[in-house]
Structure 1
Amino acid sequence: MQGGFCNRYFNSDSITNRFRPVFLWVIITAWLSGCSQYSSKKLPVAYHDLNAHYNAYVIARDRIREVERYRLKTFQENYNQPLPILLPLDSTKLEPVRAQLEDAIKKASLVAERHQNSKWLDNSYILLGTARLYRQDYANAIEVFKYINTKGESDEEKHEALILLMRTYIETGDYTNGLSVAEYLRAQPLNNVNTRNYYLTKAYLHQKRQEYAVSAALLDATFPFLKKGESTARLHLIAGQMYDLIGKPEQALAHYQKVARNRPNYEQSFYATIYSIQGGRTSNERFSRMLNDRKNNDLRDKIYYTMGLLEARAGRYPKAIEYWKKSIRETTTNTTQIPYTYQEMGKLYFEKVQDFPTAKAYYDSALALLPQQSADYKALAARKIYLDEFVDHQSTIQTEDSLQKLAQLNPAALDRHLNEAIDRKLKQQQELLAKAQAIAAQAANRPATTSDIPADQRWVLYNPLLITQGRAEFTQKWGNRALEDNWRRSQKETSAQLAQADATPQTAPGLSPNVQQGSVPAALSEAERKAQKDALYATIPFSPEALQRSNQRLENAYYHLGKLYKFQFNQPEKSISTFETLLNRYPNTTVKPEIYYLLMVSNDQLNRPSGWKDKLLAEYPTSSYARQIGKTGTNATPTATGESAANRTYTEIYDLYKANNLTEALSRAEAAMSSLTGSLIEDKMALLRVILIGKVRGVDPYRQALIEFIRDYPTSPLLPRVREMQVAAEQPTAKRK
């Protein structure tokens, strides 16, 4: 059996001709002495070293290198975000080189199976773990790297495996274990290669944790171990970005200047210049030269975007918007810049111009195109929620006010007004159709490549921006669907049923069926005009019941709009005017105590004297808002003994909560609330009660308790956390802590 085993290797085609005489002598000798992979004799060890090296390790190493070259070649940098120090792992993007990974795993495993006494055993295990890591098979990768650290013979291979183990922990989000491995390696005598990889991996870990100062310092320690080239230029660019993030522009500029000295590619050189200009560290006179440089034809959108940033910082907002619109128009096939441009436009309208409906429109466009894994996506989505709510309430006020005014017109004036509204709508549809036909005709007379048509003037099928946006919206709503007929249907029907169901034409949102079908009548028939007029009549609140419902909608809209101005947009002036309008129009509103309190707080924020505190104490002395005021008064300040007792009560109830005795904890919390009024931990106990309600009584009572907390403790420092809990509670699969 031993002879047959050796003969299989003797006949291997993978052994090169120049080693064939040596192999012949080694194999014959090994066959005479026994070629066990567990033997420690020189000849069997030499035989297994040779076979492990050339028949397994070298092939696996080359396969891994092919995969790494493919990752580097296909990775798309997003220069609108801090670049990742190490390329992120995505097994789906490695499908084209899946065969190479499988072959690397197969060949590296041969060493462990057949050549246990080979000096290439640890190296092959490292390749095996690396291949598992690239496939995102993290559990097996961790197992392999831990095995090398435990059983490996060479310290260098052990250190290499631990660095890869740290990388694996980073990819799984287990930063605690990653830091533990890093702390152990810090005390080890690493060679130059392992030192470089250790610094890079640890810098990546701190970058993922958004600890940019530590990450940048680790990168600075790495550069002495690096040679000039694109990869080093890229790391200087990243170091500059992180120094910018922590507010150290001098260090950032030094790294941007070093990019050019490390043989960068053109994009790296371009963005190093752009980042320097964005920080105000380089003269913006370079813009004209950059715009006229033919090499920048595909990057003009980024140049105009940067010009807009500088104008916005200087307070020249109309000019900033103009440049950002030019940035969008200059977009060619690469649309990655567009969502970030929309985001900046939305931010300007939100924070500076305070035009919230326009801000919402730009945020909508940004979210439709922004990758969900983007660092800005969650913050943008959260802000959009409040903007959606704002626009909805503002629209309700405008609509209901208009309808109530129409209800007061005499019949002749009302009929004339409705006719004018119908005519305006018809004219708008005709103008929209004419514009669509003109753009379609323009596109039809051009070649298939229409990148010279401005982005906002292109017909949809020739506009890469609209195509990308449409694809994003489709995927968000329907997911990834196969290209097939009737993809909306969860269950396929018969051909006759499909034909009948599809007989009704589908209309796109925002366009009337006539516009989509390519025709709008020059004038409406009497029947059509009457139908539209009847539909409008039905929305007008003529009856007392309809008027009451309209007023309820108005009251609710004013209330929520005022709170948005106060808490989300930090505009106390507009909050005051909104609440005062609410009180003037609806003096018997049920939320009057809260409105009094918020008016008092908003006036205090503006350092204005007001009588709202006295009105609240006089009209609603027992309300929770009166208690809030009482906390600040000297008469209501608890004694040290009272605070000590309050803290003891809270600790006892919290211990019950930790012991999972939830029902008793909730009962005691509700009983203790009245005794804690005015104490420093009243809001803390109220929050614990909210959490217990969620644990004991379910989702709906939990949501109501969150609303009551926000209403009763509007100045509590716990309010931001409660709002986060409220947002999470509204999610379908929300999990409360």
Structure 2
Amino acid sequence: MRINQHLTCSVNLQLLLFAAFASLISGCSQYSTGRLSVGYHNLNAKFNAYVIARDKMREAEMSMRKNRKEDYNQILPLLSPLDSLEAQPVNDLLQDVIKKASLVPDRHQNSKWVDNAYVLIGKARLYKGQFTDGIETLRYVNAKGRDEEDKHEGLIWLMRAYVETKDYNSALSVAEYLRSQPLNDKNTRDYYLVKAYLHQQKQEYTLSLAILEETFDLLPKGEETARIHFSAAQMYDLLEKPQLANVHYKAVFRNRPSYDLSFFANMNALQNDALTNANLSTESGFKRMLNDRKNSDLRDRLYYSMGVIETRKKKYPAAIRFFEESVRQTTTNTGQVPYTYLEMAKVYYDKLQNYELAKAYFDSSLALLPKTSPQFQKITERKEVLDEFVKQLTTIRTEDSLQRLSQMNPAALEKFLDGVIEKEQEDRERKVKEAQKLVEQARTLNANALNTFNGDPADRFILTDPIALSQGKVEFKQRWGNRPLEDDWRRSSKVATLLTQADNIAPVSSGQRSMAAASGKDTQILTKDSPEWKARRDALYRNIPLRKQELDASNQRMEDAYYKLGKIYKFSLIEPENAVKIFMTALERFPTTNYKPEIYYLLFLTDQKGKQEGWKTKLLEEFPNSSYTRLLTKVNGSIAATGNLELEALKDYEKILTLYQNANYSEAFAQLEMAIVTYSGSKVEDKYALLRIYLLGKLQGREAYLKALNGFIKDFPTSPLLPRVREVLEAQQSASIKKNG
């Protein structure tokens, strides 16, 4: 009896417990708002999904930070750009972040971690380069989120996504909204950083720095903060404020920087010290760093900085020597070389006006520079200009030299050509001796290296193996000779050079075998008055314009070159004084040139020494029916009464604007300069002037851009475009974070 009662009680208890458990489970629905249900889902959402996803995100970000390769030749972005290629090694981790974080909205809708999970998903998609999906996810957080701080975090990442996609207007709209929100400390810090990053990407460095100065107190000590200080210092350097830059370079050392970051901060600070202290020599400041063995693979960067210092001190020969030493000191890391070549090109181009050498170094820089570099497009445009410039300059010099030779008497000319051939012979013999010497040096080096290297030769990596490098240099010199720095260095014959087939020398064995050209022909020493000597002299003769039709053709080539060179000076290089000189020379040497009416018109536009009316009079008197005369008539407003001037001005503006939008800046500027004079006084004159400002910014840089903006305010005080110009100027010159957000 008692046994049956116990069994009955036990069954009833089990049923009761089962019912209670079933009631508990049914009450823990993710859509329930009960305290027990919410607590259950908060616990599971946090520890079974969100925390795991968050930790994987931290692991992925740490790995990307560790593997990041910084380019210290560029201004470091305040925040590392969201690069899908950089994220590829951690793609699995990011996919796990999305998978784990997605469990929260899928299974725990009533938990407080839903918004956090969506933010993580949005960040992961941005890192993976899925910007459309990432932006939609972050916008969803703002629209449907329940926690204001989480919504603010999502908006900050949304603003950053807009910056990465260069949708700056949308980023500014988000920033303006966040500015009025009560942000917590973490979101305030992140907001300021992204806002500063936004203005840095827009090249509004003054405003970016103003925001940063209010942000540094909020940043924890660490390598990322050191990196932000370094970026701020670089921006101060760009604004030519070395003292303020050095404040931040020194702050780098207080934030546990990496070795590379501390090296470049120290080097740049020394560079500023050398620029601001006239008594401090360039070499003395860098001596300790050059002697430090830890910097052996960074010596090229040190010499590069020394060259920059000498450039700013206007000691250009010394700067070139340091740049050349930088190239010689390059080891396995060749990333610095294109920037060194670029600085050398700028010195030759801007300071020494040696355009041939500038072209050569621009070519070399462009060949090695990453296409993702911000300078790549600008260098490409300048290279195209210099290619054409050097082509025309070479034509003028070549034709002028050949014409002078044509005026020599036959005996003197023959003697001159014999001298050219003798010079070729001397060069050939010198190169053969150099090749033999290099072979002997390589053989000695090989013997010494084999005695000291005990491992398998196949284990040696060629770029770090001095033996392999030496052999490569020897083989190159043997085959190609001492090639100058220029395009198309492989060519065995080049116009207007004294290089001959002897430049291509085949390998020498034991000093016994004869040198052979790459073409397979033996390089023989020519004997004077031998058939080979005479054949070479005849080949040189054929280039000289001795007959009338040859001289006429030479003159026509020179005439065309002068005309084109003047236009390059005028429209591409923006050197009006040189343009006037070339145009004047063209008129003096070729008084009957077919280009005369256009040259008159261009001189009218260019000559600023009170001679404009004289060129205008010449054009009107000598070429009354020329199209360029009609352009001057337009300027005087003779067709304004017909109503066609405004229509033509607008049509031409659209054409030039299209060139600008297609990044064809040089051609756009050339056409714009003519159009501004042609349509002076029209209703769209201010639009032409503003477009010219944008082009100056692209072609001549920030200083010319700011100067032109100020000029616009003076020249067009009633223009409807004036508020826009003032807004741009304020953005450039503002130094108050309170005023500008």
The interval holding the TM-score normalised by the smaller chain is 0.7 to 0.9
What is the CA–CA distance in structure 2 between the aligned matches of 1:413 and 1:204, rounded to whole Å? 69
TM-score of the two chains, using structure 2 as the length reference: 0.73
Indicate conservation of the 8 Å contact 1:443/1:462, yes or no.
Answer: no
Counterpart mapping for 1:356-395 below 5 A: 356-395=355-394
| Aligned-partner Cα distance in 2 for 1:596–1:457 | 58
Q: What is residue 14 of structure 1 aligned with on the other side?
A: none
Instruction: Classify 1:704/1:562 alpha carbon distance in 2 versus 1 (closer, same or farther; 3 Å).
Output: closer
Which amino acid is the alignment partner of residue 359 of structure 1?
A
Out of 189, 201, 219, the position equivalent to 1:226 is 219
CA distance in 2, matches of 1:88, 1:204: 10
Deviates more, 1:298-307 or 1:535-544: 535-544
Check if 1:274 corresponds to 2:255: no
The verdict on how the C-alpha distance between 1:649 and 1:625 changes in structure 2, with shifts beyond 3 A counting, is: closer
Structure-2 change in CA distance of 1:171 and 1:611 (3 Å):
closer
Matches within 5 A, 1:517-536: 517-518=506-507, 519-520=516-517, 521-523=523-525, 536=540
| Aligned residues of 1:166 and 1:181 also touching (Cα < 8 A) | yes
Give distance in 2, aligned partners of 1:275 and 1:454.
Answer: 35
Change over 3 Å in CA distance of 1:54–1:453 after alignment to 2: same
Who is 2:623 aligned against?
620
Counterpart CA distance in 1 for 2:62 and 2:109 is 30
For 1:234-253, what per-residue CA distance to the aligned partner results, in whole angstroms no more than 9, with x for missing partners? 11121222233334444333
Aligned-pair CA distance for 1:216: 0.9
Residue 583 of structure 2: aligned partner: 579
**Counterpart of 1:383 in structure 2: which amino acid?**
R
C-alpha distance in structure 2 between counterparts of 1:240 and 1:160, whole Å:
28
Q: Cα distance 1:267–1:407, how it changes in 2: closer, same or farther (>3 A)?
A: same
- 1:238 and 2:231 matched: yes
C-alpha RMSD over aligned residues = 4.4
Aligned mates of 2:339, 2:545 — CA distance in 1? 44
Alignment match, 1:553: 557
Distance (whole Å) between structure 2 residues aligned to residue 27 and residue 305 of structure 1? 78
Give the aligned partner of residue 344 of structure 1: 343
Distance in 1 (alpha carbons) for counterparts of 2:468 and 2:365:
16
> What residue in structure 2 maps to residue 588 of structure 1?
592
Counterpart-to-counterpart distance in 2, 1:319 and 1:25 = 91
For residues 288 and 559 of structure 1, do their structure 2 counterparts lie closer, same or farther at Cα, with a shift above 3 Å needed? same
* Contact 1:256–1:273 under 8 Å retained in 2: yes
Determine if the alignment matches structure 1 residue 130 to structure 2 residue 123: yes
Cα 1:231/1:614, change in 2 over 3 Å: same
Higher-RCO chain (CA-CA 8 Å, sequence separation at least 6) = 2
Cα distance in 1, alignment partners of residues 33 and 425 from structure 2:
93
For 1:458 and 1:323, locate their aligned partners in 2 and report how far apart those are by CA, in whole Å.
27
Post-superposition shift, 1:90? 1.6
Please give the per-residue CA displacement for 1:70-111, whole angstroms capped at 9, x wherever unaligned: 111111111221110010122122222211112222222222
- Give the direction of change, closer, same or farther, for the CA distance of 1:292–1:211 in structure 2 (3 Å limit): same
Cα separation, partners in 2 of 1:365 and 1:227, compared to 1, 3 Å: same
| Cα distance in 2 between the residues matched to 1:693 and 1:308 | 40
Q: Could you tell me how far 1:340 is from its partner in structure 2? A: 2.0
Structure 1 residue 96 corresponds to structure 2 residue 96:
no
Q: CA deviation at 1:29?
A: 6.4
Match of residue 142 from structure 1: 135
Contact 2:463 2:469 in 1 (8 A): no
| Whole-angstrom distance in 2 between the partners of 1:509 and 1:178 | 56
Partner Cα separation in structure 2 for residue 355 and residue 46 of structure 1 = 76
Q: What SS does the corresponding residue of 2:214 show, helix, strand or coil?
A: helix
Alignment correspondent of 1:466:
none
Q: Summarize the Cα distance change of 1:294–1:27 in structure 2 as closer, same or farther, 3 Å threshold.
A: farther
Alpha-carbon offset, residue 434 of structure 1: 4.9
Q: How do residues 256-405 of structure 1 correspond to structure 2 at under 5 angstroms?
A: 256-279=249-272, 280-281=275-276, 283=280, 285-405=284-404
CA contact (8 A) 1:628 1:713 kept: no
Q: Distance in 1 between matches of 2:650 and 2:58?
A: 59
Structure 2 spans left out of the alignment, 5+ residues: 1-16, 450-459, 477-485, 508-515, 518-522, 699-741
Matches within 5 A, 1:648-659: 653=647
How far is the alpha carbon of 1:537 from its aligned partner? 5.3
Distance 2:587 2:149 in 1: 76
Is the contact made by 2:442 and 2:470 (CA closer than 8 Å) also made in structure 1?
no
Aligned to 1:77: 70
State the AA in 2 paired with 1:313: R
Q: Is the contact between residue 328 and residue 455 of structure 1 (CA under 8 Å) also seen in structure 2? A: no
Instruction: Specify whether residues 101 and 423 from structure 1 end up closer, same or farther in structure 2 by C-alpha distance, changes over 3 A only.
Output: farther
For structure 1, the 5+ residue unaligned runs are 1-23, 464-472, 478-505, 654-668, 670-683, 729-737
Structure 1 residue 132, shift from structure 2 partner: 0.5
Deviation at 1:134, TM superposition (A): 0.4
Aligned length: 620
Checking the alignment, whether the CA contact within 8 Å between 1:27 and 1:47 is kept in structure 2 is no
Find the aligned partners of 1:70 and 1:157 in 2 and give their Cα distance: 25
TM-score (structure 1 length as normaliser): 0.73
In the aligned structure 2, how far is the partner of 1:360 from the partner of 1:272?
Answer: 32
C-alpha spacing 1:43/1:323, structure 2 compared with 1 (3 Å):
same
- Among 562, 566, 579, the alignment partner of 1:562 is 566
8 Å CA contact retained: 2:162, 2:168: yes
Tell me: CA distance 1:163–1:440, structure 2 relative to 1, closer, same or farther (3 Å): farther
Q: Deviation of residue 41 (structure 1)?
A: 3.4
Identity of aligned residues (%): 47
Show CA shifts across 1:642-682 (max 9, x none): 97x68x7666x4xxxxxxxxxxxxxxx4xxxxxxxxxxxxx
**Aligned equivalents of 1:462, 1:239: Cα separation in 2:** 47
Could you tell me which residue of structure 1 aligns to residue 711 of structure 2? none
* Residue pair 1:236, 1:255 contacting (<8 A) in 2 also: yes
The match for 1:687 is 652
Match of 2:167 in 1: 174
* Alpha-carbon distance between aligned partners in 1 of 2:388 and 2:690, rounded to the nearest angstrom: 18
Amino acid at match of 2:622: E
Question: What is the CA deviation profile of residues 153-172 of structure 1, one whole-angstrom value per residue up to 9, with x for unaligned ones?
Answer: 11111111111111111111
Q: Which residue of the partner structure matches residue 730 of structure 2?
A: none
Instruction: Assess if the C-alpha contact under 8 Å between 2:438 and 2:474 holds in 1.
Output: no
Structure 1 contact 330–454 (Cα < 8 Å) conserved: no
After TM superposition, give the deviation of residue 113 of structure 1 in Å: 2.2
Does the 8 A contact of 2:657 with 2:668 survive in 1? no
CA distance in 1, matches of 2:219, 2:19: 41
Go from structure 1 to structure 2 and tell me whether the alpha carbon gap of 1:27 and 1:264 turns closer, same or farther (over 3 Å shift).
farther
Are 1:105 and 2:98 counterparts? yes
SS in 2 for 1:604: coil
Does the 8 Å CA contact 2:571/2:669 hold for their aligned counterparts?
no
CA shift, 1:310, in A, is: 2.3
1:139 CA displacement: 0.7
Q: Which amino acid in 2 is paired with 1:552? A: Q
Deviates further, 237-246 or 530-539: 530-539
Q: Which amino acid aligns with 2:332?
A: T
Going from structure 1 to structure 2, the CA distance change for 1:435 and 1:186 (only over 3 Å counts) comes to farther
Q: 2:205 aligns with which of 212, 226, 234?
A: 212
Look up the equivalent residue of 1:522 and give its one-letter code.
Q
